[in-house]
Amino acid sequence: MAMRFAARTEHGFRAGLEAWSVIGHAREAAARGEDVINLSIGDPDFDSPQGVIETAVTALRSGRTHYTPAAGIPELRAAIASYHMKIARQPCGPGNVVVFPGSQSALFHALQVLLDPGTEAILLDPAYSTYEGCVQATGAKAVLVPLDADNGFHLDIEAIRAAVTERTRVILVNTPNNPTGTCFTRGELYKLGEIAMEHNLWIISDEVYGPLTFEGEHVSPAAIRDIGDRVITCSSLSKSHAMTGWRVGWAVAPDEVVRRMIDVAQVSMFGYAPFIQDAAVAALTQPQPELETIRETFRERRDVIVRRLNQIEGITCDSPHGGMFAMADVRGTGIPSFDFAMELFKEQKVAVVAGDAFGPAGSGFLRIAFTTPADRMAEAGDRIAAFVRNR
């Protein structure tokens, strides 16, 4: 007798999986001692701030290993509220915060609260590849609205408006964007808010790259006049503080959303490691001189790789205004982006992710992470140039 499984697990959690396989190949090759330049995964190559590490060690030795409230310890919720007010410029208090193991978990729980089977969530294409699976885990449908590369992957407001149906409940936005590096403007986000108000929709804003804005200002939808009460902001310390493995994230939301998210968290997580929460308080409240170094280093690496890529025949690359990725347009080479990424790794041992991993609108592009020193970024550009010359 055949074993039975949930239908949503057949395809919903495997979006772009083949395109992501280069990450595993890169790790295996590096373990064999091969000279790999891995620009595939967004894991900063910096150590976490030393003060954060010492706080966690002290907390462990002090017995901070027991259960905590499902919403997070009060000190961390208060620290996140203060941080959010500084970054997003939206008034909030500790009661508007729920702590999660990473922004990904915060996003997952927010969607569990807002979506029912048969409803819809609008995603911007290209989008971070796990978004679609998170939507489908609720039984809802993900509706992809393409972003136009010729417009710098900025919001197509009329296309978003046209995608709204009576089943739509959520618009998910990510700024600065992964994979494109685009920072959406205040005007764009205001118009997005008008759509949300007109159709009684929620906006979920993933702002994990907000502190890594290079030019201009980071604008949070929560800061836009009149729409803050329908915005759920998800963020984390993973990228800005080089703390990916710590899994520290959160959601900032209106009271009723927070109440429901805590209910879901109570049955899904039942609390979160207190010694990590203590470290997160230190990360958010103590001086961390490393943070500006991290941001400026990413900016330097961005400039190196973008300049080199634009010297290669058939490749163009706009300079991203934020985040830790660039999207290189390789359509001019005539090589499909998936084939480009796979063959590039085989021949030159440079690992990048084909834009196909992020949705149909990413096809023809490569996502390149700023996760190795500037001299290695330059070498990666040289290897990519050699790969194109040899075709």
Task: Tell me the two tokens of residue 230.
Answer: 């329908």
Tens digit of each residue's pLDDT (9 = 90 or more) over 309-338: 999 999 999 999 999 999 999 999 999 999
pLDDT in the model for residue 170: 98
Averaged over 216-241, what is the pLDDT? 92
Query: CA 188 to CA 175: how far, in whole Å?
Result: 11
Percent of the chain with pLDDT over 70: 98
The domains of the chain are located at 8-47+290-389, 66-285
Decide if 317 contacts 309 (C-beta within 8 A): yes
pLDDT in the model for residue 63: 97
Strands across the sheet with 365-369, in order?
Answer: 316-317, 325-329, 365-369, 353-354
Residue 16 reports pLDDT greater than 70 = no
CA angle 272, 273, 277 (to 5 degrees): 90
Residue 11 reports pLDDT greater than 70 = no
Tens digit of each residue's pLDDT (9 = 90 or more) over 177-201: 999 999 999 999 999 999 999 999 9
DSSP H helices in the chain: 8-11, 17-31, 50-61, 74-88, 103-114, 130-136, 157-163, 186-199, 255-268, 274-285, 290-309, 337-348, 374-389
Residue 321 sits at φ, ψ, to 5 deg, of: -85, -5
CATH match of 66-285 with 3.30.360.10: no
Least confident of 87-91, 117-121, 233-237, 336-340: 87-91
* Cβ neighbour number for residue 137 with a 10 Å cutoff: 17
Tens digit of each residue's pLDDT (9 = 90 or more) over 33-48: 999 999 998 999 999 9
Residue 136 reports pLDDT greater than 70 = yes
Averaged over 221-228, what is the pLDDT? 88
Tens digit of each residue's pLDDT (9 = 90 or more) over 293-302: 999 999 999 9
Decide if 89 contacts 220 (C-beta within 8 A): yes
Match domain 8-47+290-389 to its CATH number in 3.10.20.90, 3.30.450.20, 3.90.1150.10, 3.40.1260.10. Answer: 3.90.1150.10
Query: CA 112 to CA 261: how far, in whole Å?
Result: 8
Query: CA 188 to CA 36: how far, in whole Å?
Result: 40
The residues, any chain, with a CB within 8 Å of residue 33's CB and separated by 6 or more, are none
The residue behind tokens 């991993």 is: 357
* Cβ neighbour number for residue 214 with a 10 Å cutoff: 18
The residue behind tokens 């193991």 is: 101
pLDDT in the model for residue 17: 64
Compute the residue count for the chain.
391
Total-model pTM: 0.94
Task: Tell me the two tokens of residue 21.
Answer: 């396989």
Tens digit of each residue's pLDDT (9 = 90 or more) over 257-311: 999 999 999 999 988 999 999 999 999 999 888 899 999 999 999 999 999 999 9
Query: CA 190 to CA 86: how far, in whole Å?
Result: 20
pLDDT in the model for residue 288: 86
Q: Is 34 exposed, middle or buried (0-12, 13-18, 19+ CB in 10 A)?
A: exposed
Strands across the sheet with 120-125, in order?
Answer: 97-100, 249-252, 231-236, 202-206, 168-174, 120-125, 141-146
The residue behind tokens 């992020």 is: 358
Decide if 110 contacts 257 (C-beta within 8 A): yes
Name the amino acid, one letter, at 258. Answer: V
Furthest-apart CA atoms within the chain: distance in Å: 61
Decide if 125 contacts 361 (C-beta within 8 A): yes
